[in-house]
Structure 1
Amino acid sequence: MENAPDIHGKILEGISVLITGGTTGIGRATALLLAEHGAKILFFGRHEKELNDVTEEFTKNALEDKVMGVIADVSRKDDIDFIFQQADGFLGQLNVLVNNASLGYKSIMEGNYDDWQYILQVNLLGYMACTHEAVKRMKDKNGGHIINIGSMSADIREKGSSVYVATKAGIQGFSEALRKEVNPLGIKVTLIEPGAVGTNMQPGSSEDHREKTKEMEMLKAEDIAQCVLYVLTQPKRCDVVEVKIRPHLQLI
């Protein structure tokens, strides 16, 4: 079977979703797909050009009424406060948080304290802070869903990527403990750990990524978006706790 089966219709109508890092890569693909299926989306990223690009794509697909995009940096507490103020206004009730904003980084022997601190603030503390705000809003509604986009690096722990590995291993542990904490509140937690995905976090040009995708050595961002959609469309009785999704020929 070459492609995953389509899920048709506005199956997410009435669902409100906040996506961090929603202007590029996995976040962008997820925002577009969920909006196409009826969800109301608030997303944010750090750069105006990327925000304008994805906003234009929503307009081209006649989805502009379903979405709101803003500039914010998940490493900053004031920006997180701002985002959730916007969520309260635009989304109203928050049903789903997709923690996705993340940056790549290499060895601990590269960079300096300020560099590592920023990566930790984005890749780990940002997930935690957004989750804190989301759970505050979900707990009185007896339901909600938090999806954490992690990485296979949490398990593979590749050489030369120790800083990034530390953050993704932290997300893995955080997700497992979080599910036990919020389960009695009716809130679901899912951890999605992709393999290599053709986004700007991967080395190489766009042409390199296309070739690797063709050779089944790399995933598309849209593949992970489809996984998010699958997770969100399962019956209430089902918790998809963890998904490991890798390119067919990434044999690790």
Structure 2
Amino acid sequence: MSRTILITGASSGLGEGMAREFAARGDQLALCARRTDRLDALKAQLLQDYPGLTVEVRALDVNDHDQVFEVFGELQQHFGRLDRVIVNAGVGQGQALGTGGFQANRDTAQTNFVAALAQMEAAMTVFRAQNQGHLVTVSSVSAVRGMPAAMTSYAASKAGVAALSEGLRVELAKAKSPIRVTTLYPGYIHTAINENVKHRPFLVDTRTGCRAMVKAIESGRNECFVPRWPWTPIGFLLRRLPLPVLARMF
């Protein structure tokens, strides 16, 4: 039986890549993004590659919080259920604090954290009513430790997403709920969001990275660094390195 998977930020990058991977598995897709022209093109290509696939697309600006609840509810009604929601939409801008970049840092916090909170609220509203579902949040390896300069606000916003996800897991475990929550911590995967970053160690192409993300999602684990190698040991070390050592790395 195919599952219904909702992905935000699906018009490009990791969202588009995951949509392609799930389509290859025969899952029904609900794809959301601001750029509907790109969503329409992706839908047409997926239907050409996989005849019989069900794909619904919706315009969605995740910073319009009322629209988030409306679109999620509409898609749940259209399909009859949502089996998985992947909170993926985000931005990668930011500047060092105190250097005139407040607007960029504020926008990063609003899109990556507040809008993610809205998506998680909307998804959990659906899942609680269904008493089933799998919520997936896309954080970042940078979330495991405070990052300097242009990365500070981005890392903090992704750490907030990870904390929300962990809090939900604790609550759902206590309630013995069948609803699951998975947090992904991607390393450097080539997308437009990071192509202007000067240093991208262990960079992998989009397809390789998205395959690793989907494999991690399907594993059912609570938290996954992706690709698993080398980011799992790197994440372990980042959490434990003394501050002077961390400062020399950036």
For Structure 1 versus Structure 2, the TM-score category normalised by the shorter chain is: 0.7 to 0.9
Distance change >3 Å, CA 79–CA 141, structure 1 → 2: closer
Distance change >3 Å, CA 157–CA 63, structure 1 → 2: farther
| Matched-pair contact (CA < 8 Å) for 2:24–2:50 | no
Worse overlay, 190-199 or 74-83: 74-83
Q: How much has 1:89 moved relative to structure 2?
A: 3.2
Q: How much has 1:44 moved relative to structure 2?
A: 1.1
* Aligned partner letter, 2:70: F
**C-alpha distance after superposition, 1:187-221 (max 9, x if no partner):** 1111110111100011349xx99xx8xxx821233
Residue 202 (structure 2) aligned to one of 183, 207, 217: 217
Q: How much has 1:15 moved relative to structure 2?
A: 1.0
The SS at the match of 1:201 is: helix
Residue 196 in 1 paired to residue 196 in 2?
no
The SS at the match of 2:156 is: helix
Hey, what does 1:241 align to over in structure 2? 222
Q: How much has 1:70 moved relative to structure 2?
A: 1.9
Residue 180 in 1 paired to residue 165 in 2?
no
| Matched-pair contact (CA < 8 Å) for 1:80–1:130 | yes
| Matched-pair contact (CA < 8 Å) for 2:216–2:226 | no
Structure 2 Cα separation of the partners of residues 39 and 194 of structure 1 = 23
Residue 18 in 1 paired to residue 6 in 2?
yes
* Aligned partner letter, 2:210: A
Calculate the aligned-residue CA RMSD, in Å: 2.8
| Matched-pair contact (CA < 8 Å) for 1:195–1:247 | no
Q: How much has 1:247 moved relative to structure 2?
A: 8.1
**C-alpha distance after superposition, 1:175-198 (max 9, x if no partner):** 111111223221111111011110
Structure 2 Cα separation of the partners of residues 139 and 125 of structure 1 = 21
Residue 68 in 1 paired to residue 56 in 2?
yes
The SS at the match of 2:192 is: coil
Structure 1 Cα separation of the partners of residues 2 and 100 of structure 2 = 45
Residue 168 in 1 paired to residue 153 in 2?
no
TM-score, normalization by structure 2: 0.80
Hey, what does 1:29 align to over in structure 2? 17
Structure 1 Cα separation of the partners of residues 66 and 122 of structure 2 = 13
Hey, what does 1:39 align to over in structure 2? 27
* Aligned partner letter, 2:180: K
Structure 2 Cα separation of the partners of residues 194 and 75 of structure 1 = 23
Distance change >3 Å, CA 246–CA 88, structure 1 → 2: closer
Question: Any unmatched runs of 5+ in structure 2?
Answer: 235-250
Q: How much has 1:232 moved relative to structure 2?
A: 4.7
| Matched-pair contact (CA < 8 Å) for 1:55–1:64 | no
Structure 1 Cα separation of the partners of residues 182 and 230 of structure 2 = 25
Hey, what does 1:59 align to over in structure 2? 47
TM-score, normalization by structure 1: 0.79
Residue 135 in 1 paired to residue 129 in 2?
no
Residue pairs, 1:144-159, within 5 angstroms: 144-159=133-148
* Aligned partner letter, 1:131: M
The SS at the match of 1:189 is: strand
Q: How much has 1:37 moved relative to structure 2?
A: 0.9
| Matched-pair contact (CA < 8 Å) for 1:16–1:91 | yes
Distance change >3 Å, CA 110–CA 91, structure 1 → 2: farther
Question: Number of residue pairs matched?
Answer: 229
Question: Any unmatched runs of 5+ in structure 1?
Answer: 1-12
